[in-house]
Each structure stands twice: as structure tokens, then as C-alpha cells.
Structure 1
Amino acid sequence: MEIKIMFNTITLFAPQLVLAFFASQLLSTGAFAKKNISIGVRNFSIFVLLGYSLIGFVLGQPTGTAFKGALIIDNFSHYMNLIIGLSAAAALALSKSFFQIEKLDRFEFSILVLYCTLGMSIMVSANTLLALYIGIEMQSLALYVMAAFNRDSLRSSEAGLKYFVLGALSSGLLLYGASLIYGFTGSIEFTQISEVVSSGASPGVIAGMVFLLCGLAFKISAAPFHMWTPDVYEGAPTPVTAFFASVPKFAAMALIARLLVGPFEGIVSQWQQVIVIFSVLSMFIGAIGALVQVNIKRLMAYSSIANMGFALVALSAGTETGVKGMLIFMSIYVVSVIGIFACILQMRIRDGMVENINDLAGLSRTNRSLAVVLTIFMFSIMGIPPLLGFFGKFFAFIPAIDAGMVWLVVLALIASVIGAFYYLRLVKIIWGDESEHDFVEAPKTLRGIALISSLLVFPVLILPLVSIPTQSLISRAASSLF
């Protein structure tokens, strides 16, 4: 019987076990290697991440629980693993030329991405409070080191320290919330917590839930727990910022969705209020804060804060359609962010990386193809039809309208209009201002990722190939939580 259970666990958790095995092997190989093997480790890590994202589908998308119910493998976690693996591979590919030019090309970065991905995989499959915490901490410990990866840079060291200190605070909130929930329900398992909560939640459980959500709000940089985001995004190496802005946010948002419609399904009216507050604050603090930014990465930080607010609009509905809308929005957001950072990493001048918005002046004259691609991304993330960014917001807002929260959607539209200003300002600088710099020719990898990402936000081009199968996967993922 035990052998059967062990075999079942190995089958269900095969992608994560493969990821953990190769991450450990690559770490051992790199530690004892007599020469720099960072390029080989990176290339193999990308291959491992691609395999990790697809192995669940090769095995027929098995479902069930692993490690005596601590982790749950369902259609939701399969879809999360697919997007997390592909996005992490793309983010790792973005880092190649940057780290080589900046002389930061060390094999440890690829290992950190693998361990971070493993942590995120545990997060989205968590079925107990303990598994939830282990996944978050595995992810966070890797991210702390990645933020301070450039040890010779004061800004990078500052970013890592700030992220670590505030991350420790969020972990404290998580643990305090988990302890309250355990104390008042007598269990750390989501199914048992759900049964207790459905029969009547005590104030202690609700307080624990609020602390838990506050800790997770830090992970998605939702206001008012967003303070770390601009400084960390600015100080961290640009490929690290690209990773921060996309994959971990997607995993944390998925975990929030699993929590809200799982153990806390019986107290929708209570958690709905918390999510709505986070959503409104994030949308307006992100949109207004971005208006005064001159640094590109700080601008993207505030943009990400606002976009997390839009994703929370969908979740606030508390329905299957709401979860589906959130998944669609976040999937499109991840593609757009990776594409934008692929463009940013291409914009290198002879003095170094482009950092300020004004450095983009006249990009349309010096590199028209890059200007077109970046403009497409700006219009997409702004929500201009017929680009996928428009459909992302459409699917995020419709569930809130169906749930009777028209006022929240009106606020989201106002925040979108405010946000359109700083996106249009970038477009104006790219196409309207005179060029001040000659840009260095970008590597083919960056150009390829930017081009593929820009094609993905065109529904007319990509709809028959990607959008319809993806919507089917998303529908199955959302329905598996209910």
C-alpha cells in the first residue's frame, strides 16, 4: 500500500521532482567546476524549465493529492506550471547578454531561477498552510539573492536588503495569520478549514485570513504593501526585474485565488471587502504614482501595482468566472511584461543601459522595428482594442459587473484612463522627440523574444493557434477550484 502511495506521489509530482533533481545536480556541478560554466548551466536550465512546463501534459495531466494531502495536483496547478515554466525560461533567456556585458555571468543565477520556480510550483499546488509557507519561503529566499545579485552595485545591494527586511515582515504576517487560523479551526488542511469556516467562522479565523491576505498582498505588490516595489525594481539587475514583474506575481495571485475559493469559500462577504480595498488602492496608487516617474524600471513598478489591482477586480467577484477572468488577465500581463523588458534590454547605448524615459527619444528614427514592437506592447497593456490587453481587462471586469460591483469597474476604468497618460507619454517620446543617442545593436535572442511576445498580443494572428486552446485550459483550471 505504501509503495502504491509513493508511486502515485512520484507520478503526480514528477515535474517538481525533476526540477529539484536537476537544480541540485547543476548546483553541485557548478560548485566543483574549474571553469565558468554559466552559459552551459543557463542553456540546460532553460531546457529543464521547458520540460517542467510540459511534462504534466505528456503524462496526461494526472490529478490527485501528493505527500498525504499536503499538495494538490489538479487542472489549476497544471495550467500554473505551464505558464510559470515557460515564463521563467523566457526570463532566463533574457538574462544572457545582459550578464555577459555587465560581467555578472555566474552559474548561480540559473540555479536560483530553478529553485524559485520550484517554490512557486509548491505555492500553486499548496493544500495546507504549511505547504503554502514552504513554497512562499523557497521562492522568496531565491528572490532576495537575485535582487542583490550585482554585489558591486550599491543600488542592487540596497534592493536586496530592502526586499529581505520587508519580506521578513510579510512572512511574519503570514505566519501570524496561519497560527490564528490553526488555533481557531484546529487544522492546517484547506479542506478541513473550509468545513469549519462554512459552519460559521469566528472572529479569530477572519482576523487570521486578513493577516494571511496582507502577507500575500506583499508578494503581488498590492497597495498598501507596495512600498518595496519601485526601489527593488530600480536597483535589481534588469533581467531580475523582468522576472520579478512577471512570474512570481502570477504564482502569488494564483495562490490567493486558491485560498479565497477554497478554505475561505464560506466567508466570501468578509474577504471580498479586503480584496476590494487592495484593488482600489493598487489601481489608483499605481496609476498616479507612475505619472511622475522618469526611470523606466520605476515606471514599470508602478504599472505592475496598478495591474495587480485590475486582476483583483476579477477575483473580488468570488465566482468561477472571476477566477477565469483573473487567469486570462494575468496570462496576457505576463506575456506583455516579458516583451516590454525584452525591448528595454535591447535599448543599450554606448554609456550603458537605457534607464530614463527621455533616453527613448527618437527611437523610431534609430530603430524603427523596436519602436513599433514597444508601441504595440504599450497599447496592449493600456487596453487598446484589438490587442489582447483589451480582452484581458474585458474578462477581468465582466465578472465584477455580474456580481453587482459596477462601481468598482467604473473606478477601474478611471484608473485605466489615468494610466493611459504615462503609456502615451512613452509613445510620444519614442515617435515625436528627437534622438539623442545611437543604440547598440541588440542580440538576436532579445529581438526574438520581443517579436514573439508582440505577435502573441495580436488576437487576429494568434487566436487560431494559441488563444482558443489557452481559453480551454483556463476554463478547466478555473472550474477545478469549484
Structure 2
Amino acid sequence: MKVRVLLYLMVLIILIILLLYITSSSSSIYSLNRLATLGLLYVLYLVFDSLDPRYSNFTVYNDWFKLSDTNLPIIYIQLLLVIILLIYTTVNQRYFLQSTWVYPIILFNLLGLLLFPIVNDMLLLYIIIELQSYSLYILTGIHHKSYNSTRGSMLYFVTGGIASIGILVAIYMVYNLIGTCNITEISNYYTIHNINNIFDPIDILIISLIFKMGLAPLHSWSIAVYNYAPTYITAYISIVAKISILSWIYINANLVHLDIIILIFIISIAIAGYKPLFQVNIKTILAYSGILNFGYLLIPVVLQDPAYYIYLIQYIITHMLIFLCLLASNKFIINPNSDWSPIVNVNQLIIPNRMLIFILIICFLSLIGIPPLPGFYGKYYILVSLLHNNYTLESLSIIIFSVIATYYYAYIIKQLASNYTRNMINEPINNTLSIIISILFVIFLGYYIYIFDMLNVINIILS
């Protein structure tokens, strides 16, 4: 009872602080965005208060959705992720062109993000993935005066349409074979009949979802879209959409032929480890880094290991810090490439703020896997799971391509470190951004402290 009272008091305090903050704002758009962010915080509280793990594995709306211990953490993670990303739209930035429609479209996209991991019907799966995808198409081209933004939106739409056709074909073939679209019934059918075909309709669905995620070898479109989209939109679409889709695959891994996932894992880490060696575009390097990290995440999907959550959380924190620091650094660019993407190349990372440089360097060291940073623990638990299950070749693949990827991370660190040693004025950034970045960085640095408690909680929930 005392805990609930404290939570209500915390929500009330946040409400008062944000309302006071709103009154000092000079723009109605920023005020509306702050109110919407406040609403999402309250939604997060309601979700936390109402979704009880003791009542897992229950279905709603005629078995359309299934809530379980596995997808409950994903809902919390995605809500927190979107709230943190949306805070950037509540502050006035030098090179960020605000749009009235960004927030409503993101909220529509959030519906798809939250519903997709719990969907339990293939027909509804198609509807929700399209709700998620169409909002991302619009979001990518929201700044229609930018040629690159419009180009990226059209490319995203065309490639997403091809993947949607694959999903529809898979749904038709599954219904023709089994006579139902309910995923629980399909899973029971596969278990009873012990289906081990080399290639079946579910594999077409998985390949289509991998295509929408932009993993190798179906990745070229994602690199182009991430480059063309504004930096803030790149941060959003490169994290949230992939998490939602991969989480559904993780939850329903019993339907998937694991050999296909292993093949995609090897191709993804090989391409993402090698290709960026010849790149100087920071957004391209980060796009390949995303492919590399989600390639690593395919291993816990195969093994159904709790390491999935450990690696996912550290990946989110690290990439959130990187993108927020890059967005905060935009104000220091004297000759921006464009108002939508001021920083394009690595040599533009001349940041007159030593704390931002320091945070970026630590984040890239984490991606390399330097202990005791979070990236080390993520890779460590994946490697332990692989070796425990006798996946020796896959373990060697992660080690080899992680070493190769170290080169392009070191290239960025070298550029940042050369600026850190210069005698320059330490210019401040926006107060709101500095608070968010500071909180995330404290969580980032303390990851090694609470990771063991997190593992215990995950094991208790999943047992």
C-alpha cells in the first residue's frame, strides 16, 4: 500500500514539474509535446500497475492477443524507449525543424509497437505490422521539403510493400495447410505433427519480417533510408521497429527453423563487421552497427536464452546515448549539411563540449566490448550461452567479427579524442537534454551493478 501511495505521489510531482515547465515555453508545439509525453508517462504507470505477471498466458479479444511473462518486459522497454526519444521533441533545437504531426504519428506507431509482440493471430499480425510500417513511412518523409527525406520515405514504402506481400503469401499458405490463423493453434499443430520440413510457410513469414527489420542480406534499403531520413527519425526507426519485430520472433521461436536464423546471424555479422571499414558517413556506420548488434541478438532468439533481455537493454541505452549526444551536438555545427542532418561525416564531429565527447567515447568503447561497460556483459552472456549449447562456430564468428568491427569504432573514437585534447571553450547544451543524457549515462555506468539482479528477476519471471 505504501509503495502505491509513493508511486501516486511521484506521478503527481512529475505532473506539477512538467506543468510549471510548460508555462515557461514560448511554443505551443513544444507544450503539446510535453503534455503528450506526460500522458505516456501516466500510461506507463497504468501498464505497470495493471499488468500482473501472475496472470500470464491469458488471451483477450477472441485469442487475438496473448499476454505472457516473455512479452511483458518488452512492453515496458518499448514504452520507456519511446518516451525518452520523444523528450527531444519538447525542446527547441537550432537545426531541428519541428512538425505538428510528428507526435501524433509516433503515437500511432506506438500502438503497433506495443501490440505486435503480443499478437496471437496471423491475420491481425499483418494489420498491426502495417499500422506500424505505414506510420514509419510517413514519419520518414514528414519533412517533405527535404528531397532526401521524401526519397527515403518512398524507398521505405516500396521495400516495405514487398515484405508485406511475403507476409500475406505466408498467411495464405499457413491457412491453406492448417485451416487456422491462430498462432497458438498453429504452434500446437507443429508440435503434434512434428513438422520438420526444410522450408515451410512460417519461414516465408520470418524472412519477410527480417526484410522489414533490414538485416543482412536484405539490408541495402535500410542503409539508404537511414541516410536519407533526418537524424532524429533515423534514431527512432533504427531502434523501435527492429525491437518490436525481433521480440515477436523471440516469443514465437518454436515456429521457426533455427537454421534460417543461424544463417541470417552469420551473414549479418559478417557484412556489418566488414562493410563499414570503408565508410566515413556516421549514419551509415551506425546503421551497420545496428545490423551487427541485432545479428548478435538472433543468438538468444535461437537458444531462447534470457541473455536476449540483457543485450537488448544495454543496446538500447548505448544507442540512445549516442543518438542523443549527436542530436545535442548539432547546435555546434557551423556549416551543417542540412537542417535535417547537420552532421553527416565522421570528420564533422568537432564538438566544443568535453562531456558530450567523453560520453560518446565511452559508448563506442562499450560497443567494442571493453569491460566493465555494458557491451562487454551483453556479449559475454551470449558467448556463454553459445558455448554451453556447443555452438562453437557461432562463438568464433562473434569474436572474429567483433574484432573487425573494432576498427571502425576506433576510427570514430580517434576523431572524438583528437577534439577532446584541443583547447576549446566548453559550450553548454540544452538543460532538458543534459538531464536526460546524464540520467541515461548514470544508468549506463551502473549497468554492471544491477545486471545480476536483473538476471535473477528475469529467471524468476521466465521460470
Bucket of the pairwise TM-score, normalised by the shorter protein: 0.7 to 0.9
Give distance in 1, aligned partners of 2:460 and 2:218. Answer: 32
Give distance in 1, aligned partners of 2:344 and 2:90. Answer: 19
Counterpart residue number, 1:358: 347
Correspondence 1:85 to 2:90 = no
How far 1:201 sits from its partner (Å)?
5.3
Amino acid at match of 1:351: N
Of 366, 373, 380 in structure 2, the residue corresponding to residue 380 of structure 1 is 366
Amino acid at match of 2:38: F
SS in 1 for 2:379: helix
| CA 103–251 in structure 1, closer or farther in 2 if over 3 Å, else same | closer
How far 1:360 sits from its partner (Å)?
1.8
Counterpart residue number, 2:326: 344
| CA 253–233 in structure 1, closer or farther in 2 if over 3 Å, else same | same
Give distance in 2, aligned partners of 1:120 and 1:135. Answer: 8
Counterpart residue number, 1:457: 444
Runs of 5+ consecutive residues of structure 1 not aligned to the other structure: 1-34
Amino acid at match of 2:309: L
Equivalent pair of 2:178/2:186 in contact (CA under 8 Å): yes
Alignment of 1:68-467 (within 5 A): 68-97=62-91, 101-102=94-95, 104-200=97-193, 206-261=199-254, 264=255, 271-317=257-303, 319=304, 322=305, 324-348=306-330, 349-352=333-336, 353-361=342-350, 363=351, 366-432=352-418, 441-458=428-445, 461-462=446-447, 466-467=450-451
| CA 406–462 in structure 1, closer or farther in 2 if over 3 Å, else same | closer
SS in 2 for 1:457: helix
Alignment of 1:30-49 (within 5 A): 37-49=28-40
| CA 437–145 in structure 1, closer or farther in 2 if over 3 Å, else same | farther
How far 1:438 sits from its partner (Å)?
8.4
Equivalent pair of 1:223/1:281 in contact (CA under 8 Å): yes
Give distance in 2, aligned partners of 1:422 and 1:437. Answer: 26
Cα RMSD (Å) of the superposition? 2.4
Give distance in 2, aligned partners of 1:344 and 1:183. Answer: 49
SS in 2 for 1:347: helix
| CA 220–398 in structure 1, closer or farther in 2 if over 3 Å, else same | farther
Equivalent pair of 1:400/1:408 in contact (CA under 8 Å): yes
Runs of 5+ consecutive residues of structure 2 not aligned to the other structure: 1-25, 337-341
Equivalent pair of 2:102/2:139 in contact (CA under 8 Å): yes
Amino acid at match of 1:211: I
Equivalent pair of 1:313/1:397 in contact (CA under 8 Å): no
Give distance in 2, aligned partners of 1:301 and 1:60. Answer: 34
SS in 1 for 2:66: strand
Amino acid at match of 1:48: G
How far 1:397 sits from its partner (Å)?
2.4
How far 1:215 sits from its partner (Å)?
1.1
Amino acid at match of 2:320: I
How far 1:444 sits from its partner (Å)?
2.0
How far 1:94 sits from its partner (Å)?
2.3
Give distance in 1, aligned partners of 2:448 and 2:211. Answer: 34
| CA 343–425 in structure 1, closer or farther in 2 if over 3 Å, else same | same
